[in-house]
Amino acid sequence: MDRNVKYLIIGAGISGLTFANYADGDYLIIEKEKGVGGYCRTIKKKDYVWDYAGHFFHFSTDEFKKKFLDSVNPEDIKYKDKNTKIIYKGELVDYPFQTNIHQLEKEEFIDCLYDLFHKEEKEDYDSFLDMLYGKFGKSIVEKFLKPYNEKLYAVDLKTLDKDAMGRFFPYADIPAIIDNMKANKDSTSYNNSFLYPRNGAGSFIQILYDALDSSKILMEHEVVKIDNEHKVAQLDDGSKINYEYLINTSPLNHFLGYFEGEKFSALKNRLSYNKVLVFNLGFNKKSKFTEEHWMYIPDKAVNFYRIGFYDNILDADKLSM
């Protein structure tokens, strides 16, 4: 059946659901999965709570934060000061690496400190990698920043913009690095403290979903074609949606495939992207890591780049990772 809507929203993940919460009610969400949440869905199995990946919410406004917290039992929220490590040559180094080089072996520490003081900063950088060398010097970059981010992005860092990570990158100047040698406090990361729902990230998704009209969310439906000129989207069941505004939250390479025309296919072919495979594992006892929340692994001989411990965040008595 054909429909007319003001806002056609592709995807019922956290972005799509949030937009619908603040729309004027004239919306329709198209979601190809059986449930909402996208990559913020939560899986519960026996004593274990897992997300599709580790997600932590850092609210941009107090108003938005209050919207969530007022809808949750205070006892169901865990508040934590971040405890994160880097597995470097078999030892644990506090994150971020660049402010904890004093924890390295003496010779490596001297290399990092020497290169840090002799780095060549510039007004303009050509790429993300160029920026790293300019800000932190050769040793810090090649021991951690370069190998870790190459694993994370699965791309040559020269192809990334200098601001590719935005606020998520922990910048630090020389005074901050020197001060941290004694204070040993991470003041550069955006998520030094965080909150986490006892029942997983899906708890927040449920709050967004419950505030909406479920009849305006089409589950197990997918957009297959979009006529951008006439503002019509065709679904996999043959029905058509006439829209005034199109809100996309699906991956851009999928989204561009909905349009016909050379300019869309050319743009799609210009995009690069990678995929992340997440394993959620549970064990009936704790590991030797009882305080760490997550760890970073720059070593390219190891084919994963991060490991997280839900049990240490939730104060559980069984290893959930």
Which pLDDT does position 178 carry in this prediction?
A: 81
| 107-132 per-position pLDDT tens digit | 999 999 999 999 998 999 999 999 99
Structure tokens at 1: 């059946």
Strand duo 232-235 + 240-248: pairing: antiparallel
Structure tokens at 119: 């780095």
CB 28 within 8 A of CB 265: no
Q: Does pLDDT of 168 surpass 80?
A: no
Q: Report residue 174's pLDDT band, with 50, 70 and 90 as the boundaries.
A: confident
Q: What is the pTM of this model?
A: 0.88
Handedness of CA 147, 153, 155, 156 (dihedral sign): negative
Q: Does pLDDT of 54 surpass 90?
A: no
Q: Does pLDDT of 53 surpass 80?
A: no
Which pLDDT does position 130 carry in this prediction?
A: 96
Average pLDDT for residues 304-315, to the nearest whole number? 94
Q: How far apart are CA 212 and CA 209, in angstroms?
A: 5
Q: Report residue 187's pLDDT band, with 50, 70 and 90 as the boundaries.
A: low
DSSP 8-state assignment for residue 285: S
- Which of 51-79 are b and which e, b meaning 16 or more Cβ less than 10 Å from the residue's Cβ? bbebbbbeeeeeeeeebbeeebeeeeeee
Q: Report residue 190's pLDDT band, with 50, 70 and 90 as the boundaries.
A: low
Tell me what percent of the chain is helix, strand and coil, each rounded to the nearest 5: 35, 25, 40
Which pLDDT does position 1 carry in this prediction?
A: 64
DSSP 8-state assignment for residue 117: H
Least confident of 84-93, 152-161, 163-172, 203-212: 163-172
Q: How far apart are CA 213 and CA 197, in angstroms?
A: 24
Q: Report residue 186's pLDDT band, with 50, 70 and 90 as the boundaries.
A: low
| 259-287 per-position pLDDT tens digit | 998 999 999 999 888 888 999 999 999 99
- CA–CA distances in Å: residue 125 to residues 128, 137, 155: 8, 14, 18
Average per-residue pLDDT for the chain: 91
More confidently predicted of 22 and 67? 22
Which pLDDT does position 224 carry in this prediction?
A: 97
Question: 3-state SS of 238-270?
Answer: CCEEEEEEEEECCCHHHHHCCECCHHHHHHHHH
Q: Report residue 185's pLDDT band, with 50, 70 and 90 as the boundaries.
A: low
Q: Where are the alpha helices (DSSP H) in 53-141?
A: 62-69, 106-117, 128-140
Strand partners, 306: 296
According to CATH, where is 3.50.50.60 located in the chain? 3-76+196-270
Handedness of CA 106, 111, 116, 117 (dihedral sign): positive
CB 85 within 8 A of CB 76: no
Strand segments, DSSP code E, in 119-278 are: 193-197, 217-219, 223-227, 232-235, 240-248
Which pLDDT does position 97 carry in this prediction?
A: 94
Supply the angle between the helices 128-140 and 146-153 in degrees, to the nearest 10: 140
Which pLDDT does position 191 carry in this prediction?
A: 67
Residue 8, SS3 per DSSP: strand
Which pLDDT does position 57 carry in this prediction?
A: 74
Q: What angle do CA 5, 7, 8 make, to 5 degrees?
A: 85
Task: Specify the CATH number for 3-76+196-270; select among 3.50.50.60, 2.60.40.1220, 3.40.50.300, 3.40.190.80.
Answer: 3.50.50.60
